[in-house]
Structure 1
Amino acid sequence: MVACERQLLGLALAIIGFLGTISICALPAWRVHKFDHQSNIAASEVFFQGLWKVCGTFSAELVECKQYGELVYISLDLEVARVLIIIAIIIGVFGILLGDVGSKFINFVPDEMEKSRTAMASGVAFVIAGLFVLIPVCWTTITIIYVLPHDHGKREPGASLYIGWITTALLFLGGGLLCSSFICRDGTDQDVEYPNP
């Protein structure tokens, strides 16, 4: 794969991972806590905890959400996750800007070596953003599985954690491809010049 295609694929994967980071920040589904009152389906309650609010479903039609504050407290792992995900989004924005500047399709920087270095810096930014997503996703998953008590209902990871795992993989893969477009610069990895017809 030539460096130009590798950069384009890496940037596309990293941008998809960046959008996943925004979605896990917004979705209120990091933790799911299900209460089942005496096996009565009509009386079952499900609570979804996110980074910014808690939502509860008390029947098939009634969903109520509350912001964290005086009445609803946020746990330590979700509070740290909130900070780390915001940092990952900020780093992702810088990664996208650096990826655009270092792109072989846009002539912001005329020097090819500087373009490659900028693309590599973009890749490093996306890998760092992936680490900032991986840490809270792992911490919250471990907290749900091993730390939180399971005596009152069933606790399980929410959809945001599953999206977070995929997001982390995409950020690492996209960042790695962007970095490799600078590292793999030998005679076989040059852009192909096609003759004009």
Structure 2
Amino acid sequence: MASAALELMGFFMGLLGMLGTLVATVLPYWKISAHIGSNIVTAVANMRGLWMECVYQSTGAFQCETYNSMLALPSDLQASRALMVISLVVSILAIAMAALGMQCTLCLEGSGAVKNRVAGTSGGLFVTAGFLALIPVAWTTHEVVQTFYHTNIPASMKFELGECLYLGLASAIISMLGGGMLCASWCDEQNGGRGRHGGGYPYPVGFGMSGTGVRTTSQAYRNPTLQVGGNRAQTLVQSTSGSSESNAHRTQAPKKPTTAGYDITGYV
């Protein structure tokens, strides 16, 4: 039950991280114009994202324009686009595999080992998707901070961190945590399966779990080697009982006669 709860929590966290990554990819709030120095007038705010650039006026007008050419964009923006899209595709694939491999679903019901492997693979895909989404977020954050504190750049060209950067960071962390939970539940199931079915260390196969360690007749019938061990144990018991009986006969044998403190050999 513990592994099933971990799988459900990991699945929903991965799903939430995928939705947050999708919202952060689509919205244009990656960079927001900084109102500092000569650009202190807040009547107009510029926002830039991965796909469009928007302008918000104090009158309430909101206008967006998509980038005209993809090849004319900077290389870092193109890489950020590609990584975010790949992260979304990997997350969708991870959700589909998690739906097949979780214990609460009826898919792959006949093969437990394959079902566990599918669940663990989906957890690894969630971790990969979160890491892919984290790269452009960290990259853009570093660029914005470096540009803001650069003295040679005018204040009108400086930007601050947008809401999508915070959302992308949180979504990436949630996706990786969800994938880690799925992987942990898979490892828990594997360890539990070895403990339930394998016998293994420290008890050999067929060894009784009671304190006396006595093997039953059904166990000996299932494992022929146990019969050999049982015969050896019976032989050992018989030899031990025989030696004890011989010792008892020796103790009950009559003593040699002695005379006046002298034994039969004549020595005191």
| Alpha-carbon offset, residue 40 of structure 1 | 4.1
* SS of structure 1 residue aligned to 2:68: coil
**What pairs with 1:47-126 in structure 2 (closer than 5 Å)?**
47-69=46-68, 74-109=73-108, 110-126=110-126
| Alpha-carbon offset, residue 77 of structure 1 | 2.3
CA shift digits 1:21-57 (9 cap, x unpaired): 111111111111135656444xx32111111100011
In structure 2, what is the Cα distance between the partners aligned to 1:38 and 1:169? Answer: 35
In 1, are the aligned partners of 2:35 and 2:41 still within 8 Å (CA)?
no
TM-score (norm 1): 0.86
Cα RMSD (Å): 2.3
> Corresponding residue for 2:222?
none
- Pick one of 164, 167, 172 that aligns with 2:171: 167
In 2, are the aligned partners of 1:35 and 1:45 still within 8 Å (CA)?
no
> Corresponding residue for 1:152?
155
> Corresponding residue for 1:186?
191
> Corresponding residue for 2:201?
none
Number of residue equivalences:
186
Amino acid at match of 2:52: K
In 2, are the aligned partners of 1:123 and 1:174 still within 8 Å (CA)?
yes
Amino acid at match of 2:75: L
Larger Rg: 2
Amino acid at match of 2:24: I
CA shift digits 1:152-185 (9 cap, x unpaired): 2341111110001100111110000001111123
Bigger drift between 54-63 and 132-141 goes to 54-63
Where does the alignment leave 5 or more consecutive residues of structure 2 unmatched?
Answer: 196-268
* SS of structure 2 residue aligned to 1:54: strand
TM-score (norm 2): 0.64
In structure 1, what is the Cα distance between the partners aligned to 2:130 and 2:192? Answer: 31
